[in-house]
Amino acid sequence: MEVTRKNYKDCLNTVYSAIEEADFLAIDGEFSGISDGPNVSALTNGLDTPEERYTKLKKHSMDFLLFQFGLCTFKYDQAKSKYITKPFNFYIFPKPFNRTSPDIKFICQSSSIDFLASQGFDFNKVFCHGIPYLNQEEEAQLREQTEERRNQHANGVGTPSFISPSSSKGSSHVPEEHKDFINKVVEKVEALMVNSEKTLDLEPCTGECCLKPCLCSGGLAWFPKGLHVETVETEKKERYIQISKVDEEERKRREQQKLEKEQEELNDAVGFSRVIHAISKSGKLVVGHNMLLDVMHTIHQFYCPLPEDIQDFKEVTMCVFPRLLDTKLMASTQPFKELITNTSLAELEKQLKESPFKSPQVETAEGFPSYDTAQEQLHEAGYDAYITGLCFIAMANYLGSFLTPPKAYISARSKLIEPFFNKLFLMRIIDIPYLNITGPDLQPKRDHVLYVTFPKEWKTSDLYQLFSAFGNIQVSWIDDTSAFVSLSQTDQVQIAMNTSRYAESYKIQTYAEYIQGKQQEKEKQTTKTWGEDSWVKPHYTCSTTSGFGYSRYSCNECFTLHWEQVVGFFSHVKNVRLSCAGAESTPTLFEVPEVW
């Protein structure tokens, strides 16, 4: 179902009930770009730490706009033995709510835009009919403003008073050059009080609007009792002020009407964020494919600016999405790793239709346009969310084949899939497959890695030449003048360090030295900016009133699983050490050791 500003309000209850009844949800986002800094290969260094990757994505990806959000809900129908799906494709655009609301700027990357254009993306739907949104803080501010205005109205009596223009520098002073204009209005209003007219329309604000800020900001707050003041917009978007004579009852009725309208406008302004609130509040499993950027953008745009610290990011992620599953990580992990050669969404979806996997049984709910996977409407967020859900079902069901007896259907609440919860795939990191949202990250040994700095003229071949004595090496570029070089044997590190000691054109550090240096740099900066005393670490809590809550499901399923299978699940990381609760195969075996 396509959802734009035009049909958004009518669809909202349909969206809410689809989320409420679902067994799990799948999401996907389309953005106006990926990186405003380095190219993608530099953005995704193979030896990034999770923290470094988070910091880079936050710095170089968050100024793009998430302008299409796909949500597909999946509800299992026991009788039909199939999933009923409800796909939604939301178009998002930060249309300014009013003249004082934030005027969002976002970046577009021409390659991304061109790619979406080639896929038939409809930009007019985004820019002309996108659903607006506010993050938590903007919403709170707006509610406060409305409340204040309401109180002003409740107390407003007596002589004309002018609230100043929208600028934060406003005051109740009327600048000299506008006094003439204001005095004329006062004269007209005084005439209205005694003549037989019912209303007085002031001149509309056109190009000369800057000359009349006191009135045009809608700030002509309160006139003598018996007068109602309203800003009216013509069809041509011209705004003018209308002053009407009304009796007390009529005045109150109009005020009430106005307040209700304000309340509705406020909800409209919160817009798409309400859908994210509902997803969050439901506590349902949210499935995505390679979803780190989707999660970051969703939080950044609809909840709060991303925190500096990765630990804080993990906390806030758990507030917004209490349970996540990344199908790209799942497909890259045993037992799927050996069976799936290409984990890109389109290829994954194709491969999961073939043996040993089974195409999931799904049916689109009545009233929803159904997607045909043979048509490949890739990169429409709603379609991508839909096939992400299909991939999840196929993989989850495949896990059921290991049970004794085998099960053909594995629910989204099964303990079998718990090992994959809250682990977000990390693109192109050699030895850390995922960001662990609910615990510390993996800390692979990088004893064989060197951090090398050199003149900016150097190329990969210069590095190969420098290390030619050490056999196979792997180069991961950081920027123009530095790279990681992975040696094949750890004991070569000391030799490399020794030989480099007197080099002038380049410099080598061990990975440990590099990390230590970075840490010191960070501490220095923190102290500089905040001072030891003034530093208060922000703490993210899940506010239930805000709509972002967390509810748990219990699981009553029983199953047995072979030890070999468990080891297989995690064998994608070199030197895996599994902590094991006992010799018997029990679910506790799935606990992922926190440090590998």
Among 481, 446, 447, 488, residue whose Cα is nearest residue 467: 488
Among 126, 131, 325, 496, binds its own copies (CB under 8 A): 126
Minimum distance, C-beta of residue 14 to its own copies, in the bound complex (Å): 26
Minimum distance, C-beta of residue 177 to its own copies, in the bound complex (Å): 8
Site for its own copies in 165-184 (CB under 8 A): 167, 169-173, 175-177
- Sign of the C-alpha dihedral, residues 413, 419, 422, 428? negative
Minimum distance, C-beta of residue 387 to its own copies, in the bound complex (Å): 14
Which of these ranges, 115-123, 249-257, 433-441, 491-499, lies near its own copies under the rule CB under 8 A?
115-123
* Torsions phi, psi for 363 (to 5 deg): -145, 135
Among 96, 369, 455, 538, binds its own copies (CB under 8 A): 96
Minimum distance, C-beta of residue 164 to its own copies, in the bound complex (Å): 8
| Residue 405 token pair | 């007896």
CB environment 227-253: b (16+ within 10 A), e (fewer): bbbebeeeeeeebbbebbbbeeeebee
Q: Within 10 A of 344 (CB to CB), how many other CB atoms are there? A: 13
110 binds its own copies (CB under 8 A): yes
Minimum distance, C-beta of residue 346 to its own copies, in the bound complex (Å): 8
How far is 137 from 61, CA to CA, in rounded Å?
21
Which distant-in-sequence residues (6+ apart) come within 8 Å of 492 by Cβ?
A: 448, 470
Which of these ranges, 120-128, 384-392, 507-515, 580-588, lies near its own copies under the rule CB under 8 A?
120-128
Minimum distance, C-beta of residue 497 to its own copies, in the bound complex (Å): 22
How far is 136 from 51, CA to CA, in rounded Å?
25
164 binds its own copies (CB under 8 A): yes
Among 107, 246, 266, 542, binds its own copies (CB under 8 A): 107
Give SS3 for 56.
Answer: helix
Residue with tokens 């001072």: 531
- Sign of the C-alpha dihedral, residues 325, 330, 332, 333? positive
How far is 514 from 80, CA to CA, in rounded Å?
58
219 binds its own copies (CB under 8 A): no
How far is 76 from 104, CA to CA, in rounded Å?
40
481 binds its own copies (CB under 8 A): no
Among 395, 437, 401, 436, residue whose Cα is nearest residue 417: 395
Nearer Cβ to its own copies (284/289) = 289
| Residue 2 token pair | 């396509």
Among 206, 263, 516, 560, binds its own copies (CB under 8 A): 206
Minimum distance, C-beta of residue 158 to its own copies, in the bound complex (Å): 20
Ordered DSSP codes for 124-181: HHHHHH-B-B--HHHHHHHHHHHHHHHHHHHH--SS-EE---SSTT--S---HHHHHH
221 binds its own copies (CB under 8 A): no
Which of these ranges, 107-115, 258-266, 531-539, 550-558, lies near its own copies under the rule CB under 8 A?
107-115
Site string for its own copies, 424-443 (x = CB under 8 A): ----x---------------
Among 122, 230, 268, 312, binds its own copies (CB under 8 A): 122
Minimum distance, C-beta of residue 237 to its own copies, in the bound complex (Å): 6
**Residue type, position 241, single letter:** I
Among 109, 482, 500, 585, binds its own copies (CB under 8 A): 109
How far is 85 from 367, CA to CA, in rounded Å?
11
203 binds its own copies (CB under 8 A): no
Site string for its own copies, 26-45 (x = CB under 8 A): ------xx--x--x-x----
Nearer Cβ to its own copies (177/504) = 177
Nearer Cβ to its own copies (76/93) = 93
Q: How far is the CA of 169 from the CAs of 164, 165, 538, in angstroms?
A: 9, 8, 30
How far is 78 from 473, CA to CA, in rounded Å?
54
Nearer Cβ to its own copies (173/577) = 173
Among 16, 123, 421, 550, binds its own copies (CB under 8 A): 123
Rg over CA atoms, the chain: 30
How far is 64 from 71, CA to CA, in rounded Å?
20
Site for its own copies in 334-363 (CB under 8 A): 342-344, 346-347
398 binds its own copies (CB under 8 A): no
Which of these ranges, 111-119, 154-162, 392-400, 416-424, lies near its own copies under the rule CB under 8 A?
111-119
472 binds its own copies (CB under 8 A): yes
Among 50, 87, 94, 288, binds its own copies (CB under 8 A): 94
How far is 221 from 149, CA to CA, in rounded Å?
9
475 binds its own copies (CB under 8 A): yes
Binding region for its own copies (CB under 8 A): 32-33, 36, 39, 41, 65, 93-96, 103-111, 113-114, 116-118, 122-124, 126-128, 164, 167, 169-173, 175-177, 206-208, 210, 237, 342-344, 346-347, 428, 459-462, 464, 472-475, 477
